[in-house]
Structure 1
Protein backbone atom coordinates (compact mmCIF):
# COMPACT_ATOMS: atom_id res chain seq x y z
CA UNK A 1 0.00 0.00 0.00
CA UNK A 2 2.87 2.40 0.83
CA UNK A 3 4.42 1.63 -2.56
CA UNK A 4 1.20 2.55 -4.36
CA UNK A 5 0.94 5.83 -2.44
CA UNK A 6 4.57 6.60 -3.30
CA UNK A 7 3.97 6.02 -7.04
CA UNK A 8 0.80 8.13 -7.00
CA UNK A 9 2.64 10.98 -5.25
CA UNK A 10 5.55 10.69 -7.70
CA UNK A 11 3.16 10.76 -10.69
CA UNK A 12 1.35 13.85 -9.35
CA UNK A 13 4.66 15.59 -8.72
CA UNK A 14 5.89 14.72 -12.23
CA UNK A 15 2.66 16.06 -13.76
CA UNK A 16 2.98 19.27 -11.76
CA UNK A 17 6.57 19.79 -12.88
CA UNK A 18 5.60 19.17 -16.51
CA UNK A 19 2.72 21.67 -16.28
CA UNK A 20 5.01 24.35 -14.82
CA UNK A 21 7.55 23.77 -17.59
CA UNK A 22 4.83 24.37 -20.18
CA UNK A 23 4.32 27.94 -18.90
CA UNK A 24 7.83 28.39 -17.56
CA UNK A 25 9.50 31.71 -16.95
CA UNK A 26 13.03 32.09 -15.66
CA UNK A 27 13.48 30.13 -12.45
CA UNK A 28 13.89 32.06 -9.21
CA UNK A 29 16.33 31.04 -6.50
CA UNK A 30 16.54 32.26 -2.96
CA UNK A 31 17.62 31.88 0.63
CA UNK A 32 15.36 32.07 3.67
CA UNK A 33 15.40 31.94 7.46
CA UNK A 34 12.82 32.00 10.21
CA UNK A 35 11.38 30.43 13.33
CA UNK A 36 9.47 27.19 13.86
CA UNK A 37 6.91 26.25 16.50
CA UNK A 38 6.81 22.44 16.93
CA UNK A 39 4.36 19.96 18.37
CA UNK A 40 4.86 16.28 19.10
CA UNK A 41 1.31 14.98 19.01
CA UNK A 42 -0.25 11.67 19.85
CA UNK A 43 1.71 9.41 22.08
CA UNK A 44 1.04 6.48 24.31
CA UNK A 45 -0.36 6.83 27.80
CA UNK A 46 2.40 7.58 30.26
CA UNK A 47 3.66 10.69 28.44
CA UNK A 48 3.06 13.82 30.51
CA UNK A 49 4.38 17.35 31.06
CA UNK A 50 5.01 17.78 27.35
CA UNK A 51 6.45 21.13 26.33
CA UNK A 52 7.68 22.19 22.89
CA UNK A 53 10.29 24.90 22.33
CA UNK A 54 10.58 27.27 19.39
CA UNK A 55 13.33 26.46 16.92
CA UNK A 56 15.06 27.97 13.91
CA UNK A 57 14.97 27.18 10.21
CA UNK A 58 17.15 28.26 7.29
CA UNK A 59 17.41 27.06 3.75
CA UNK A 60 17.41 27.54 0.02
CA UNK A 61 14.61 27.32 -2.54
CA UNK A 62 13.97 27.34 -6.26
CA UNK A 63 10.71 28.41 -7.89
CA UNK A 64 10.08 27.22 -11.45
CA UNK A 65 7.07 28.29 -13.50
CA UNK A 66 4.68 31.18 -13.84
CA UNK A 67 1.31 31.40 -12.12
CA UNK A 68 1.50 27.64 -11.53
CA UNK A 69 4.89 26.74 -10.16
CA UNK A 70 7.00 24.01 -8.59
CA UNK A 71 9.05 24.93 -5.50
CA UNK A 72 11.57 22.46 -4.07
CA UNK A 73 13.45 23.48 -0.94
CA UNK A 74 16.25 22.21 1.28
CA UNK A 75 16.04 23.50 4.85
CA UNK A 76 17.86 23.00 8.13
CA UNK A 77 15.33 22.89 10.98
CA UNK A 78 16.00 22.71 14.72
CA UNK A 79 13.55 22.41 17.62
CA UNK A 80 13.13 20.58 20.91
CA UNK A 81 10.45 18.90 22.94
CA UNK A 82 10.56 17.98 26.62
CA UNK A 83 8.31 15.40 28.24
CA UNK A 84 8.06 12.91 31.06
CA UNK A 85 7.60 9.21 30.32
CA UNK A 86 7.12 6.70 33.11
CA UNK A 87 8.50 9.15 35.68
CA UNK A 88 11.69 10.09 33.77
CA UNK A 89 12.24 13.45 32.03
CA UNK A 90 13.47 13.62 28.42
CA UNK A 91 14.61 16.51 26.25
CA UNK A 92 14.48 15.53 22.58
CA UNK A 93 16.51 17.99 20.48
CA UNK A 94 15.84 17.68 16.76
CA UNK A 95 18.23 18.79 14.02
CA UNK A 96 16.67 17.97 10.67
CA UNK A 97 17.25 18.30 6.98
CA UNK A 98 13.80 19.10 5.61
CA UNK A 99 12.88 18.79 1.90
CA UNK A 100 9.42 20.12 0.94
CA UNK A 101 8.43 19.58 -2.71
CA UNK A 102 5.56 21.99 -3.27
CA UNK A 103 3.30 22.81 -6.18
CA UNK A 104 1.80 26.27 -6.00
CA UNK A 105 -0.40 28.90 -7.58
CA UNK A 106 0.02 32.69 -7.57
CA UNK A 107 -3.36 34.16 -6.65
CA UNK A 108 -2.05 37.63 -7.44
CA UNK A 109 0.91 38.10 -9.76
CA UNK A 110 1.68 41.79 -10.28
CA UNK A 111 5.10 43.16 -11.22
CA UNK A 112 6.45 43.68 -7.69
CA UNK A 113 3.79 41.87 -5.66
CA UNK A 114 2.59 38.30 -5.65
CA UNK A 115 0.34 36.38 -3.28
CA UNK A 116 0.77 32.62 -3.48
CA UNK A 117 -0.34 29.31 -1.97
CA UNK A 118 1.35 25.94 -2.26
CA UNK A 119 1.28 22.40 -0.90
CA UNK A 120 3.08 19.11 -1.31
CA UNK A 121 5.00 16.31 0.34
CA UNK A 122 7.50 17.13 3.07
CA UNK A 123 10.42 14.79 3.78
CA UNK A 124 12.55 15.07 6.92
CA UNK A 125 15.83 13.44 7.86
CA UNK A 126 17.15 13.62 11.45
CA UNK A 127 20.79 14.67 11.44
CA UNK A 128 21.16 13.78 15.12
CA UNK A 129 19.74 11.19 17.50
CA UNK A 130 17.19 12.91 19.80
CA UNK A 131 17.03 11.59 23.38
CA UNK A 132 14.32 8.95 23.84
CA UNK A 133 13.32 6.45 26.53
CA UNK A 134 15.18 3.13 26.61
CA UNK A 135 13.80 0.70 24.06
CA UNK A 136 12.50 3.51 21.85
CA UNK A 137 14.12 5.69 19.20
CA UNK A 138 13.22 8.57 16.92
CA UNK A 139 13.31 7.58 13.27
CA UNK A 140 15.95 8.97 10.96
CA UNK A 141 13.42 9.58 8.15
CA UNK A 142 9.81 10.80 8.34
CA UNK A 143 7.34 12.01 5.73
CA UNK A 144 4.44 14.39 5.84
CA UNK A 145 2.58 17.09 3.99
CA UNK A 146 3.00 20.85 3.97
CA UNK A 147 0.69 23.79 3.17
CA UNK A 148 2.18 27.24 2.62
CA UNK A 149 0.96 30.79 2.07
CA UNK A 150 3.32 33.52 1.02
CA UNK A 151 3.71 36.99 -0.36
CA UNK A 152 6.55 38.38 -2.46
CA UNK A 153 7.30 42.10 -2.41
CA UNK A 154 10.02 42.78 -4.93
CA UNK A 155 12.90 40.44 -4.09
CA UNK A 156 11.71 39.73 -0.54
CA UNK A 157 9.40 36.83 0.29
CA UNK A 158 7.39 36.18 3.46
CA UNK A 159 6.03 32.70 4.14
CA UNK A 160 3.89 30.96 6.76
CA UNK A 161 3.41 27.20 6.63
CA UNK A 162 2.27 24.16 8.52
CA UNK A 163 3.98 20.81 8.10
CA UNK A 164 1.99 17.82 9.32
CA UNK A 165 3.93 14.62 10.01
CA UNK A 166 2.09 11.66 8.52
CA UNK A 167 4.53 8.95 9.58
CA UNK A 168 5.39 8.29 13.20
CA UNK A 169 8.56 10.02 14.45
CA UNK A 170 8.86 7.48 17.26
CA UNK A 171 7.03 4.24 16.56
CA UNK A 172 7.07 2.94 20.14
CA UNK A 173 5.77 6.23 21.61
CA UNK A 174 3.37 6.78 18.68
CA UNK A 175 4.43 10.42 18.26
CA UNK A 176 4.01 12.48 15.10
CA UNK A 177 5.41 15.93 14.48
CA UNK A 178 3.70 19.14 13.51
CA UNK A 179 5.62 22.30 12.67
CA UNK A 180 4.28 25.82 12.13
CA UNK A 181 6.95 28.05 10.58
CA UNK A 182 7.34 31.64 9.46
CA UNK A 183 10.27 32.79 7.34
CA UNK A 184 11.68 35.73 5.41
CA UNK A 185 13.51 35.05 2.17
CA UNK A 186 15.50 36.89 -0.45
CA UNK A 187 15.22 35.99 -4.14
CA UNK A 188 18.02 36.44 -6.65
Structure 2
Protein backbone atom coordinates (compact mmCIF):
# COMPACT_ATOMS: atom_id res chain seq x y z
CA UNK A 1 0.00 0.00 0.00
CA UNK A 2 2.78 2.42 0.92
CA UNK A 3 4.60 1.66 -2.35
CA UNK A 4 1.47 2.33 -4.39
CA UNK A 5 0.86 5.57 -2.49
CA UNK A 6 4.49 6.65 -3.03
CA UNK A 7 4.30 5.88 -6.76
CA UNK A 8 1.04 7.79 -7.11
CA UNK A 9 2.50 10.83 -5.32
CA UNK A 10 5.63 10.73 -7.52
CA UNK A 11 3.56 10.69 -10.71
CA UNK A 12 1.31 13.54 -9.59
CA UNK A 13 4.25 15.63 -8.35
CA UNK A 14 6.14 15.14 -11.62
CA UNK A 15 3.19 16.06 -13.86
CA UNK A 16 2.13 19.06 -11.78
CA UNK A 17 5.72 20.35 -11.50
CA UNK A 18 6.09 20.21 -15.27
CA UNK A 19 2.88 22.20 -15.64
CA UNK A 20 4.00 24.80 -13.11
CA UNK A 21 7.42 25.20 -14.74
CA UNK A 22 5.87 25.44 -18.23
CA UNK A 23 4.15 28.70 -17.33
CA UNK A 24 5.63 31.89 -18.70
CA UNK A 25 7.83 33.58 -16.10
CA UNK A 26 7.48 30.70 -13.63
CA UNK A 27 8.24 32.07 -10.18
CA UNK A 28 10.02 30.60 -7.15
CA UNK A 29 8.96 31.86 -3.73
CA UNK A 30 10.82 30.84 -0.57
CA UNK A 31 9.07 31.38 2.72
CA UNK A 32 8.70 30.54 6.38
CA UNK A 33 5.54 30.21 8.46
CA UNK A 34 4.34 29.47 11.98
CA UNK A 35 1.00 28.89 13.66
CA UNK A 36 -1.26 26.69 15.72
CA UNK A 37 -3.18 23.47 15.13
CA UNK A 38 -6.21 21.76 16.65
CA UNK A 39 -5.79 17.96 16.78
CA UNK A 40 -8.10 15.09 17.69
CA UNK A 41 -8.47 11.34 17.10
CA UNK A 42 -11.21 9.43 15.34
CA UNK A 43 -12.85 6.56 17.27
CA UNK A 44 -10.35 4.04 18.64
CA UNK A 45 -10.94 0.82 20.57
CA UNK A 46 -7.91 1.61 22.77
CA UNK A 47 -9.15 5.08 23.75
CA UNK A 48 -11.84 5.51 26.38
CA UNK A 49 -12.08 9.29 26.04
CA UNK A 50 -10.24 12.11 24.25
CA UNK A 51 -10.57 15.78 23.40
CA UNK A 52 -9.14 18.30 20.96
CA UNK A 53 -5.74 19.68 21.85
CA UNK A 54 -4.10 22.92 20.73
CA UNK A 55 -0.42 22.97 19.80
CA UNK A 56 2.03 24.61 17.39
CA UNK A 57 3.78 24.12 14.06
CA UNK A 58 6.30 26.00 11.97
CA UNK A 59 8.31 25.37 8.85
CA UNK A 60 9.74 26.50 5.53
CA UNK A 61 8.41 26.12 2.01
CA UNK A 62 9.23 26.69 -1.63
CA UNK A 63 6.47 27.62 -4.08
CA UNK A 64 7.14 26.96 -7.76
CA UNK A 65 4.84 28.57 -10.31
CA UNK A 66 2.37 31.42 -10.48
CA UNK A 67 -1.26 30.64 -11.34
CA UNK A 68 -0.67 26.88 -10.95
CA UNK A 69 1.99 26.01 -8.41
CA UNK A 70 3.72 23.20 -6.52
CA UNK A 71 4.64 23.83 -2.89
CA UNK A 72 6.92 21.37 -1.05
CA UNK A 73 7.41 22.07 2.65
CA UNK A 74 9.37 20.94 5.70
CA UNK A 75 7.46 21.40 8.94
CA UNK A 76 8.13 20.80 12.63
CA UNK A 77 4.75 19.90 14.10
CA UNK A 78 3.51 19.22 17.62
CA UNK A 79 0.14 17.45 17.92
CA UNK A 80 -1.55 17.30 21.32
CA UNK A 81 -4.66 15.54 22.59
CA UNK A 82 -5.82 14.63 26.10
CA UNK A 83 -6.61 10.93 26.48
CA UNK A 84 -7.85 8.23 28.79
CA UNK A 85 -6.70 4.91 27.31
CA UNK A 86 -7.91 1.39 28.09
CA UNK A 87 -4.33 0.15 28.49
CA UNK A 88 -2.89 2.65 30.97
CA UNK A 89 -1.80 1.46 34.42
CA UNK A 90 -3.82 4.07 36.35
CA UNK A 91 -7.39 3.60 35.14
CA UNK A 92 -9.42 6.73 34.47
CA UNK A 93 -6.53 9.21 34.67
CA UNK A 94 -6.47 11.73 31.83
CA UNK A 95 -3.23 13.20 30.53
CA UNK A 96 -1.89 14.99 27.47
CA UNK A 97 -0.33 12.99 24.65
CA UNK A 98 2.05 15.36 22.89
CA UNK A 99 3.81 13.96 19.81
CA UNK A 100 6.43 15.83 17.78
CA UNK A 101 6.73 15.21 14.04
CA UNK A 102 8.79 16.17 11.02
CA UNK A 103 6.19 16.55 8.27
CA UNK A 104 6.91 16.79 4.55
CA UNK A 105 3.87 17.82 2.49
CA UNK A 106 3.77 18.46 -1.24
CA UNK A 107 0.87 20.75 -2.10
CA UNK A 108 -0.57 21.46 -5.53
CA UNK A 109 -2.38 24.72 -5.89
CA UNK A 110 -4.23 27.27 -7.93
CA UNK A 111 -3.93 30.99 -7.23
CA UNK A 112 -6.55 33.51 -8.29
CA UNK A 113 -5.82 37.09 -9.28
CA UNK A 114 -8.43 38.46 -6.86
CA UNK A 115 -7.43 41.82 -5.36
CA UNK A 116 -9.58 42.81 -2.40
CA UNK A 117 -9.37 45.72 0.00
CA UNK A 118 -7.75 43.51 2.68
CA UNK A 119 -7.10 40.02 1.31
CA UNK A 120 -5.77 39.18 -2.15
CA UNK A 121 -4.46 36.34 -4.34
CA UNK A 122 -6.56 33.55 -2.86
CA UNK A 123 -4.84 30.16 -3.09
CA UNK A 124 -6.49 26.71 -3.11
CA UNK A 125 -4.16 23.84 -2.16
CA UNK A 126 -4.31 20.06 -1.83
CA UNK A 127 -1.71 17.32 -1.55
CA UNK A 128 -0.22 14.39 0.38
CA UNK A 129 2.26 14.39 3.24
CA UNK A 130 4.35 12.00 5.27
CA UNK A 131 5.12 12.68 8.93
CA UNK A 132 7.79 11.05 11.08
CA UNK A 133 7.21 10.91 14.85
CA UNK A 134 10.57 11.62 16.47
CA UNK A 135 9.57 12.18 20.12
CA UNK A 136 6.73 11.86 22.62
CA UNK A 137 6.53 14.07 25.72
CA UNK A 138 6.44 12.34 29.10
CA UNK A 139 2.92 11.42 30.15
CA UNK A 140 1.00 9.43 32.75
CA UNK A 141 -0.92 7.21 30.33
CA UNK A 142 1.98 4.89 29.45
CA UNK A 143 2.35 5.99 25.82
CA UNK A 144 5.85 6.21 24.36
CA UNK A 145 7.27 6.47 20.85
CA UNK A 146 7.39 2.70 20.48
CA UNK A 147 3.58 2.59 20.83
CA UNK A 148 3.03 4.78 17.74
CA UNK A 149 3.35 4.35 14.01
CA UNK A 150 6.46 6.41 13.34
CA UNK A 151 5.60 7.09 9.68
CA UNK A 152 2.13 8.53 9.09
CA UNK A 153 0.59 9.44 5.76
CA UNK A 154 -2.03 12.16 5.38
CA UNK A 155 -4.02 14.11 2.82
CA UNK A 156 -4.04 17.88 3.24
CA UNK A 157 -6.17 20.62 1.78
CA UNK A 158 -7.03 24.22 2.41
CA UNK A 159 -7.09 27.82 1.37
CA UNK A 160 -4.59 30.65 1.67
CA UNK A 161 -4.54 34.36 0.97
CA UNK A 162 -2.34 37.38 1.40
CA UNK A 163 -3.06 40.12 3.93
CA UNK A 164 -0.59 42.97 3.51
CA UNK A 165 2.83 41.25 3.72
CA UNK A 166 1.57 38.06 5.40
CA UNK A 167 0.57 34.78 3.76
CA UNK A 168 -2.25 33.21 5.81
CA UNK A 169 -3.15 29.53 5.38
CA UNK A 170 -6.06 27.54 6.82
CA UNK A 171 -5.48 23.81 6.28
CA UNK A 172 -7.16 20.50 7.12
CA UNK A 173 -4.97 17.41 7.68
CA UNK A 174 -6.64 13.98 7.36
CA UNK A 175 -4.32 11.19 8.50
CA UNK A 176 -4.58 7.82 6.75
CA UNK A 177 -2.41 5.88 9.23
CA UNK A 178 -3.65 4.93 12.69
CA UNK A 179 -1.82 6.71 15.50
CA UNK A 180 -1.15 3.62 17.63
CA UNK A 181 0.63 0.58 16.20
CA UNK A 182 -1.43 -1.88 18.24
CA UNK A 183 -3.35 -4.09 15.83
CA UNK A 184 -6.63 -3.28 17.60
CA UNK A 185 -6.23 0.45 17.04
CA UNK A 186 -8.09 2.33 14.31
CA UNK A 187 -7.91 5.92 15.57
CA UNK A 188 -6.47 8.35 13.03
CA UNK A 189 -5.49 11.97 13.51
CA UNK A 190 -7.57 14.89 12.31
CA UNK A 191 -6.19 18.42 12.50
CA UNK A 192 -6.95 21.98 11.46
CA UNK A 193 -4.04 24.42 11.29
CA UNK A 194 -3.83 28.19 10.95
CA UNK A 195 -0.44 29.63 9.99
CA UNK A 196 1.00 32.99 9.03
CA UNK A 197 4.15 33.37 6.96
CA UNK A 198 6.38 35.56 4.86
CA UNK A 199 7.52 34.74 1.34
CA UNK A 200 10.40 36.18 -0.66
TM superposition score normalised by structure 2: 0.84
Determine whether 1:152 maps to 2:162: yes
Deviates more, 1:114-123 or 1:171-180: 171-180
Q: Determine if the alignment matches structure 1 residue 115 to structure 2 residue 122.
A: yes
User: 1:96 matched to which residue of 2?
Assistant: 101
- 8 Å contact 2:134–2:150 — kept in the other structure? yes
CA gap 1:5/1:58 in 2 versus in 1, 3 angstroms:
closer
Q: In the alignment, is residue 82 of structure 1 matched against residue 48 of structure 2?
A: no
- Shift of residue 109, structure 1, vs aligned partner: 5.4
SS for the counterpart of 1:167 is strand
Are 1:6 and 2:6 an aligned pair?
A: yes
Gaps of 5+ in 1: none
**Shift in Å, 1:95:** 0.9
> Does residue 134 of structure 2 align to residue 127 of structure 1?
yes
Q: How does 1:37-76 map to 2 (within 5 A)?
A: 37-44=38-45, 47-76=47-76
Root-mean-square deviation (Å): 2.3
What is the count of residue pairs matched by the alignment?
187
Contact 1:32 1:184 in 2 (8 A): yes
Alpha-carbon displacement from aligned partner over 1:17-69 (angstroms, at most 9, x marks no partner) = 1111111523011111111000111211x522312320011111111001000
The aligned residue for residue 30 of structure 2 is 29
